[in-house]
A and B are shown apart, each in its own frame.
Chain A
Amino acid sequence: MSNEPKVRLRGLYKIFGTDGQAALEHVKAGMGKDELLAKHHHVLGLQDINVDMQAGEITVVMGLSGSGKSTLIRHLNRLIDPTAGEILVDGEDVMQLSKSGLRAIRQNKMSMVFQKFALLPHRTIAQNAAMPLVVRGVEEKTWRAEAMKWLERVGLSGYENHYPAQLSGGMQQRVGIARALTANTDIMLMDEAFSALDPLIRTDMQDLLLELQEELHKTIVFITHDLDEALKLADHLVILKDGAVVQQGEPQGILLNPKDPYIEDFVSDINRARVLRVRSVMGPLKEGVSYEGDVQAGDNLESLIAISGGETGKTYRVLEGETVVGQLDMLDLVKALVPRISSAPSEAL
């Protein structure tokens, strides 16, 4: 893996309204979203976004409704043009592309799953799933086979000759996922791709995505407002609020060290024992300690609590594969389970 990020956003601003440039001055001078709307009738979509997305990683963008997640992801393939800033894909500035260059990138480099599915209502499920290939001019025999393969992967074989309106919302969303997979592009943009799914299928789809990621190492930008999902999938987590990045980094790090009351509030409700891994709470090996047994660094804390039978006095040796990487004190584990609240709950957003 090279050090050059696959996708790079630098100083990205987006302001919705008739005169974005004028409003941009106000925003750069420090005006907030609400004030901008009240005084100048422009909507602040994104402000000063700097995110690097590494090849082969899943970058999860999280935030409350209206925080600008969909706006952000639409900038990557320029469905929305930024008011200011740079979008670099493989080191190439997307803003400088010609019309045909942009079409080529959209056809061959990026595929997208939409929050509102956006299937073609007059085409069958198979035709919908094959759309990216049809656009590229691939012949029917090939696209049909590809479409069937991915429809089967998302659990929709047998529906290929139905029309979108004959499917439930969750099934339509899976068609959208199959469509993006059929495109087989390096970069996948997934805007709340799993939010219309029931919990069981949702877990299935998450596992499918992780499984595919093992094989294919795509660069995935995934949007969700479900923290559990974010923590399960993310290699890199970006948290948005009112169009600005409040914190980004490795998800376990954010969980243990939230920078902002907004994030503390976000992370306070989740099942920390299931999400946190031994790796994140272990300490260095110390001399003269007797260990109850060995555990894996990738195990979650829940499984450790089960092993220890809930006793807090025990200490375990932590292995990463075969090598010893540290030790885990059950007391540290218990401390990590309590969310760190720096501000009074009433102040939290």
Chain B
Amino acid sequence: MAFYDGMFKAFGLEQWCGEGNSDAPLSMADLLAKASGKGADGPIFPFPSLDNLNKSCGNLSQTRDLTKGIEDGFLAAKPALKSVLDPLTQPLSWMLDSALWAFAAIPWFIMIPVLVAVAWFASRSKGVTIFVAFSILLLAFVDHYDVAMQTLSIIFVCTGISVLLGVPIGIAMSKSDKLERVLVPILDLLQTLPTFVYLIPLIFLFSVTESKLYGIAIILYAIVPVVRLTNLGIRLVDQDVIEAANAFGMSSSQKLTKVELPLALPNIMAGVNQTIMMSLAMVVIASLVSAPGLGVNVLRGIRNLELGVGIVAGIGIVLLAVILDRVSKAALQRVDMTHVKH
């Protein structure tokens, strides 16, 4: 006898309920209760949840039917979604794979000087460049060069794509209030959702062996700041200057390239900096879904309780984070100085 039997009787629904009563599957809770030898009575006044009502009326679904329904629905939609998304995202897999391959194939004695040179040209700061050289050499010295390069190559690809997509989206957003109203909640959602949550649908859609799976996860997470700050940067451009551009008859594209983008550049660069940092954060989590790199070692540390491995990889990540942050901030500062001398 379950608690809500009386209620269904009172409504005269006994008949309807009874039909499916016998074949209602046992819920996990029931099984556990049976195993521990207690009756399935539960509390005196159980909450009228789906599972509890189901005990009195077999025709009502249980909660696990709901989750199963969602899963079935998702699986039913999967072929259609896949046929659209797969070709669209395939280039991402190729890019990630070839970047990983290239970073691994180029010998260290070429790669390290190249990276240091990039740091110099981006930042033009001696301190930052020396720090970059020191960090990479240190990582290589403790045999973490390969994994660090894997992480770095994924970040390069994902940041590049985020900027390539994010800046145009941000520009479009700054030109249309309607689009901004639509996109802001989506960006909020992407930024507030715990990163694990949107790994779930992605795992269903793409196989874990494909690199685009983690690529998409990283890009979705990291693209937000560059979109936001591009939009903001363009909207913040001094209206008086825009007015002057109009008064001398600039076309929209001239205004964009000669006035708005250059003046928004410091903000856009700040967005790029954040995008880089967020892809780094995500690439570590993405090792859960087969992203190679330092994150794998951290994961090993957690799974196998290999404390030392985890900590060394963790320090490697911190070093990479500081390098990327310093270099991009120094580049931002340089842009700030030459473009808006105040």
Q: Taking beta carbons and an 8 Å cutoff, which residues of A are in contact with B? A: 77, 79, 102-108, 110-112, 114, 116-122, 131-132, 134-136, 163-166, 183, 189
Cα A166 to Cα B342 in complex, Å, equals 8
Q: Chain A CB within 10 Å — which of B240, B246, B247 has the most?
A: B247
| A121-B251 contact, Cβ under 8 Å, with A79-B246, A163-B341, A165-B342 | no
Cα A111 to Cα B240 in complex, Å, equals 15
B241 touches A118 (CB 8 A): yes
Cα A116 to Cα B240 in complex, Å, equals 7
**Interface residues of B: mostly helix, strand, loop or mixed?**
helix
Q: Taking beta carbons and an 8 Å cutoff, which residues of B are in contact with A? A: 238, 240-241, 243-244, 246-251, 254, 258-259, 262-263, 338-342
Measured CB to CB, the nearest residue on chain B to A162 is: B341
Q: How far is the CB of A129 from chain B (nearest CB, A)?
A: 12
A79-B243, A107-B249, A121-B340 given. 20 additional CB < 8 A pairs?
Answer: A79-B247, A105-B249, A108-B249, A111-B247, A112-B248, A114-B243, A114-B244, A116-B240, A118-B241, A118-B244, A119-B241, A120-B244, A120-B258, A122-B262, A122-B263, A122-B339, A132-B248, A136-B249, A165-B341, A183-B248
Residues of B within 8 A of A104 (CB): 249
Q: How far is the CB of A254 from chain B (nearest CB, A)?
A: 29
Q: How far is the CB of A74 from chain B (nearest CB, A)?
A: 8
Residues of A within 8 A of B240 (CB): 114, 116-118
| A107-B248 contact, Cβ under 8 Å, with A120-B259, A122-B263 | yes
Pick the residue among A103, A165, A166 that contacts B249 (CB under 8 A). A103
Measured CB to CB, the nearest residue on chain B to A165 is: B341
Measured CB to CB, the nearest residue on chain B to A107 is: B249
Cα A118 to Cα B250 in complex, Å, equals 14
Residues of B within 8 A of A111 (CB): 247-248
Measured CB to CB, the nearest residue on chain A to B254 is: A135
Cα A20 to Cα B136 in complex, Å, equals 64
Q: How far is the CB of A164 from chain B (nearest CB, A)?
A: 8
A77 touches B247 (CB 8 A): yes
In the complex, the 7 A-B pairs of residues with the closest C-beta atoms, listed nearest first: A107-B249, A106-B249, A118-B244, A118-B240, A165-B341, A122-B339, A103-B249
Cα A165 to Cα B342 in complex, Å, equals 5
Cα A111 to Cα B254 in complex, Å, equals 17
Cα A122 to Cα B263 in complex, Å, equals 7
30 residue pairs bridging A and B, Cβ less than 8 Å apart = A77-B247, A106-B248, A107-B248, A108-B249, A110-B247, A111-B248, A112-B247, A112-B248, A114-B243, A114-B247, A117-B240, A118-B238, A118-B241, A118-B244, A120-B244, A120-B259, A120-B263, A121-B238, A121-B340, A121-B341, A121-B342, A122-B338, A131-B248, A134-B258, A135-B248, A135-B249, A164-B341, A165-B340, A166-B341, A183-B248
